[in-house]
């Protein structure tokens, strides 16, 4: 699976989690969403490096 597709799937997963959040006992979902967001940022960095665009 290419990096762009992985990012797309992770974004869809975040949307799904947000729809599941209820007023209580869902703190772990926020933690999960933050972890997925971090994974997306790592993948974006990998994509930039793969495309030869280093960010300083």
Kindly report, residue by residue over 10-53, the tens digit of the pLDDT. Answer: 999 999 999 999 999 989 999 999 999 999 999 999 999 988 86
Phi, then psi, of 26 in degrees rounded to 5: -125, 20
Residue 56 pLDDT level (bands cut at 50, 70, 90): low
> DSSP alpha helices (H): ranges in the chain?
3-20, 27-50
Eight-state DSSP code of residue 51: T
What pLDDT is attached to residue 1? 82
**How many residues are there in the chain?**
56
Q: Could you tell me the pTM of the whole model?
A: 0.84
């Amino acid at each position: 699976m290419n990096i762009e597709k992985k990012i797309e799937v992770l974004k869809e997963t975040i949307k799904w989690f947000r729809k599941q959040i209820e007023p209580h006992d869902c703190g772990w979902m926020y933690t999960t969403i933050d972890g997925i967001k971090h994974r997306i940022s790592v993948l974006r960095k990998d994509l930039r490096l793969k495309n030869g665009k280093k960010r300083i």
